[in-house]
Structure 1
Amino acid sequence: MLTLDQDDIILDRHAEDWQSALDLAAQQLSEAGLVTEGYRQGLYDREAQSSTFLGNAIAIPHGTPDSRDHVNRTGVRVIQFPRGVEWHDGNRVHVLVTIAAQSDEHLDILRQLTHVLDREGVAERLAAADSAREIAALLSKAPLEARLDADTLCLNFPASDSLELALAGAARLRQSGCVDNAFVAAIADQQAHPLGQGLWLTSSPVGVQTPALALATPEASFQGPLGTVNGVFCLAAQGSAHRDLLERIMTLLDSRAGETLVGADSATVLSRLAGESASARTATARVLNAHGLHARPAKQLVQVAREQSVPVKVRLAEGGGAAVSAASLTKVIGLGARRGQQLLFSAEGEGADSALSAVCRVVNEGLGEKVAPFEEGREHVAPITEPSVEPLEADVPHLAVAASPGLAIAEAFVMRPPRFDYPERAEQPAEELRRLDSAIEEAGRQLASLIRQAPGGEVSEILSMHEEMLDDPELHEAAREGIREGFSAEAGWWRAIDTAAHAQEMLADRLLAERAADLRDVGRRVLGVLCHVELPTPPERPYILVMDDIGPSDVARLDTRRVQGLLTARGGATAHSAILARALGIPAVVGAGARTMALDNGTELILDGERGRVIPAPSTARRQRAELRLKERERRERDAWEARFEEGRTSDGHRVEVAANLGNTAHTQDAVERGAEGVGLLRTEFIFMAHAQAPDLDTQIAEYRTAAENLDGRPLVARTLDVGGDKPLPYWPVPQEDNPFLGLRGIRLALTKPDILETQLRALLIAGRGCPLRIMLPMVKDVAEFRQARAIFDRLLEQLPEAERATDVQLGVMIEVPSCALLAPSLAAEVDFFSIGTNDLTQYTLAIDRGHSELSAQADGLHPAVLRLIQMAVDAAHAQGKWVGVCGELASDAAAVPVLVGLGVDELSVASRQVPLVKARLRDFDMSEAQRQAALALSQATSEAVREALEAL
């Protein structure tokens, strides 16, 4: 197994860029005789596949399997860059852990470094470290902490000689599980050493399980054969881990506090051993921050401490750790304080009380973060919710995020987050490992059963992904390591889950970050088995399920005959739970806020999954209106399905094509069966995301041809690869961006690698032979970007014989960026069509991230500013004889359909399930009515006003 050694660490190096750092790493490995010169290319090849940046300013460059022939022997070199190196993915690196491995031994290093990744402040400490020993300590497993706390103290013991006190201290260490009988025997065979001030010391390394310090004091000072006895320290020594305990004793002696220990209680003794004098004032405050005292809140605390007129010290109230300066960021971060732990502050002199009051106040206020009260004994897993929130106001529409369309009227069944109460520590690791393995096996059986019963393909796919997560060997090993370190099966498992989920949440890609919910869903399943926790039984009558957040397996278990709708406090429209709700046809509203969880079971709700709103305890009149809407909707759905193959037309015959949005070519036939008149948006990135490297020409041709053949002459509108900072591909690393939605994505990114864009365009042209093919470019901001792509497109049209490619082909752009709409006249003169992506156009116009937990409900495409941009694009296109489609969620919004048609939109592309309903909606109005509604909407000042005005018609 690879290990980190101080001799392998090189300090204080500088590199201008990541290539120079990689060259230096290869040189160090070569000079150490670990590799030959050819290994350098292996390091570069690995970075080309994917970035080796691990997190917390650490990268672990290593070769590819092909470069193993250049490895002479396994080894590692650690290089520190205090000023940092900008890595090719945009991250800042301070330490390279460069690995030469003849097999997959680099995974050992990765496992050892896992504990570093979720610790705030490590990056700064790696950069500032001035010794190899300090770097090794930061990167190695957390050092074994010596124990000193109230349980290792034996105070006011009735004894008449120092040996009795020494044995009392040894017995206390044995009771605490720190030593065995051999240690007690070793202490019995030795004479205590005098320290001065009536204090004595005995110590032994024999039979030590955990380094620790005990102190036994007599009921009253007495004279022994060698002098006064005020207390005897009993030290369980192990390696160098007990040195801090010895330093603590020396600090006590230096303060001349030895004689004050007789008759003192445990809090006073621990205070003196922490370096706090008898005259110091103290105060405590509990850490409420969800992720503990990491760098950001620690910085707030340090700033307040530095503003005080007297020095302030701080330590963890639990245990006997030394007090450190509250004005030192590294010392405060080094405390490692977790949520729920008490901080003990101390200060001396005039102004001590006000200083303590100031630091405690900022801790209680959250140190700049939103916090919730700590609930003793129930903090293991339960999500943090808002304190003392009032329920949603009765008979008032509350806006949230529309996640799955539909209307439901039913009583609420509130599923509170499960509480898992379990011990943090356990004394029999073998038994805990057995329990964990058994629970994982049982969880696997449960998932297998759910997959067999799953009501749909997407449900099965996501639950199968849960099976893979459950089988992850890295997850298992992380949990087992925690158990071997003394944690219970529950604590070890959840620490592994929480660490992995937190790392997932830090990803720039919101879609990938939301998959952390899947990981925690898997974690809770195993935890439920371990803790014998079962969810409450829902009622037999129809109900709307209300949860803080809902996991995919929760959705898969739903009895769709009884569950009329879903309402969650958290979550986004792109989470797996929302995807599954749409797949199952269950109306869902998510992200409604913490007040949702304050609803009482049995409260009647009106849930509108199209408008993204919920109405608790509706009035009789409001309920009757909703019931009429519901009955009307059910009738309309039946009628719409019967007429699904009719052309999309208004009641006066105005033609509006209704197409389907697809994320997978395999679903094309289903879309046609639902009445789609073509595919208005094929998200081609699904092909790229499904492969470990960029799919070649033949692979893409085969995929696109599936869609073209299943459409049987209907038009196919394919969007070119739309990935980037917010949706990265593992084999196409891009720099990390502060705001990936405003960075390298869409056509901007594709133009940086024109060969990939050219291959995709070639594949589309070949696969689209005999099919009306429309290709659109995403994220275009102006005509210059379009011209660059058009040059490649035109060249391919010349190269490919007409008999081998699509001839009915158009090249257009997506209107997603406001500048594109504002400059629509210049674009319309050169493009063949516009397709308006209202999701992105709305968030860029209103400056609201549509996945934002608090603001997303305000990201409404019916905002008059968005509608004006759509109008500008339509007018410009029609002036040039070009057509315009809408492929965003607004196209399936019942209130928006007549407005869009009135603005002149020629095509609406929606989710396949919505195609029949959108066609039916078109038949509800004529063109003059549509134009009247469009004019009405444009005359309003807000999206709320638009919806109210349209609803009043």
Structure 2
Amino acid sequence: MHNNNKELTLSAPLSGPVLTLAKVPDPVFASGAMGDGIAIDPLNDTLHAPCAGVVVHVARTGHAVTLRADNGAELLLHLGLDTVELQGLGFSMLVKEGARVANGQPLLRYDLDKVAQQCKSLVSLLILTNSQDFQARPITLKSVKVGEPLLHIIRRQTSTAEVDIEFAGAEIVGHVCIAHRGGLHARPAALIRQTAQGFKSKSQLHFAGKSATCDSLIGLMGLAIGEQAEVQVSCQGPDAEAALQALLTALSTTLAEDSHAVAPPMIAQRNRPAEAGVLHGVCAAPGLVGGPLFRLNAISLPVDAGQHDPQQQRQVLDAALSQVRSEIDHTLAQAKKHKDSAEEAIFAAHLALLEDPALLDAASQSVDQGTAATHAWSQAIEAQCEVLQQTGSTLLAERANDLRDLKQRVLRVLLGDTWHYDVPAGAIVAAHELTPSDLLQLSQQGVAGLCMAEGGATSHVAILARGKGLPCMVALGSTLLDQQQGQPVVLDADGGRLELTPGTQRLTDVRQLQQQQQQRRAEQQTQAHTPALTTDGLCIEVAANVASSTEAADALANGADGVGLLRTEFLFVDRQTAPDEQEQHQAYQAVLDAMGDKSVIIRTIDVGGDKQLDYLPLPAEANPVLGLRGIRLAQVRPELLDQQLRALLHLRPLSRCRILLPMITEVDELLHIRQRLDALCTELGLAQRPELGVMIEVPAAALLAEQLAEHADFLSIGTNDLSQYTLAMDRDHAGLAARVDALHPALLRLIAQTCAGAAQHKRWVGVCGALASDPLATPVLIGLGVSELSVSPVQIGEIKDRVRHLDASECRRISQGLLKLSSASAVRHACHQHWPLS
């Protein structure tokens, strides 16, 4: 490796076949929006440093690390695609931020099998994040082994073009990394524009030598800013300081729907063998449907005869724009009413595009020159679409589709036609590319599925289709549009296939499968709001694990009997200061309010050890999982817990709030907190005491369950931690994570002992770990004496349905036998035998 401050040779951080970025099945990376670089499909389980340097960033979820090489090149090493969704499961980071590393030094390990099963793709990236200053030139595009030469990094002759700044004087500037998923596309750009409009100052965004004013949505999108890219914000004017702070916050805060939404796995077409009678594409929304294929055609304009009265055409266009604005306002109001945040964000972006100065000025100029309003509007939109498509960003090319949607909507009004698509219910719609408003109309008409020749899995149409439960495929290619109108097809979105010539039997089978699935889901949902009783009359409470009031509202809508675990860490992480008592109280009260008359179990803050807070410096620990976490942290920093308990004691009605303590290992810890709680109740003049429960997540607590139950009102088993502590296997350890199975007979014995101990004092036991959401484990948990299961909101109907098909006395009899088995796999096998999953 030579380094003369200009050139640097990077060695391979992983072993495996090398791919260019264009071949990476992810639009953000493939488009180069994040920077220049290379990808490797790894065959080994350790990521190594490609050169000497300093670790400047370690991803919170352990799947990525950024190095700064000695010549200033910044290198993002990103393991797998969508691996952030694994929340660190299967990853083990070997270095810390600020550490100096040598060329070839191991940076992170991961469980090859576990991560491969759970993420979209293992393809890993080496991205040059400051590509404006450096260039990456591949040395090889064949397979490499760790340490072999991979890339030349060369400093560009001329640094980034100087940013043109309009104003001198009192201009203030800030730098920030874009937090929005997929970069600054239409929805986040609309948020930035809205933020900027709240201030008098003029604000601009600068990236890679280009600038855009924050009041132009198209300008902002045209900068092609990718996720995690660093941008410069400049503000000038009377309230510049406030505007800058607001914009920096907006740019670095993820949109709410993006933090939960997971784009479905993209299926790379090129890896598909050719198959007669089948078109392959990318799944945008899952599902399997059969039906007649119907092709949609776009509006075609008559030829413009020439000179029109500009004033009259401007009035026509203004009237059409006003009508479309009010239609979108109505759609927005409906989306707000139904709390559909994804739909709300999409149409808020459309509204912002309709007011975009770049677009309106272009249309006005054409009208002034005598062009018809229809053609002026159409040409203005197409010119802006061209701008977005020339950025080379797949994501922004998809956003051009939103502009085309507005073109269609305004043209429909201008042409005096409501433009109702004549498509029968149950049809599978084929189009070059659908727009969001097309999709809403089609979904109201009861179509069965959607397929597009173009489009991407991250487009607004894809988000809406997933929300509506409409199977949808994109990128099927132009052959789709040559198919005969009305021919029967099968759309298998999960498999990324459109079957053009299915036989009668295949169509019948698909229809039956469809009906069974729909019926099953509908039945489970209609019964989801009624209690879950076993066939012999035992009532099992099915509650939800949530982390916010929005998730609590979802849980209630899905039939939750209450909240079995509110993780309060969501208030404490990813911020610079601790939330004060009032902020905490408001957040907890919102959850209580969202749950109607149901009870809510609120776990006190469970951080420390492996979950660090920036504003709470704790000593570095050799074994964080065995260190200061849960209630131990509260012992070291009692003011944190005191503040949280005060916030909880102000909740109304207090009778619906139950408090849960994490990481308890002995009775004294519980007694100490109970005394503290009593003292605070007296101080606040409260006669009523909230119920106080204990998490059973360390073997000591399970073994002392009887003693703990004497002083606790209930026990809740956290199977995730209990598994790793019982089996002495770190569930984040790459080589061991797959073996951390909560159905291990040793775990089942601890669960049995917990339930038996609690029964001595007539206390109930719940399970809030991942095991509660596993339908295979439901009969075992009921058999061992668990009476409450806290699951993810979407699984409430399914788990309640599972309970209703079980006989509790039979569960008890069989579960006792399971305790004598020798391994987790033996237990799983026996469960499948006794209680098959239908």
Instruction: Bin the TM-score by the shorter chain.
Output: 0.3 to 0.5
- So what's the TM-score if we normalise by structure 1? 0.41
Higher relative contact order (Cα pairs below 8 Å, separated by 6+ residues): 2
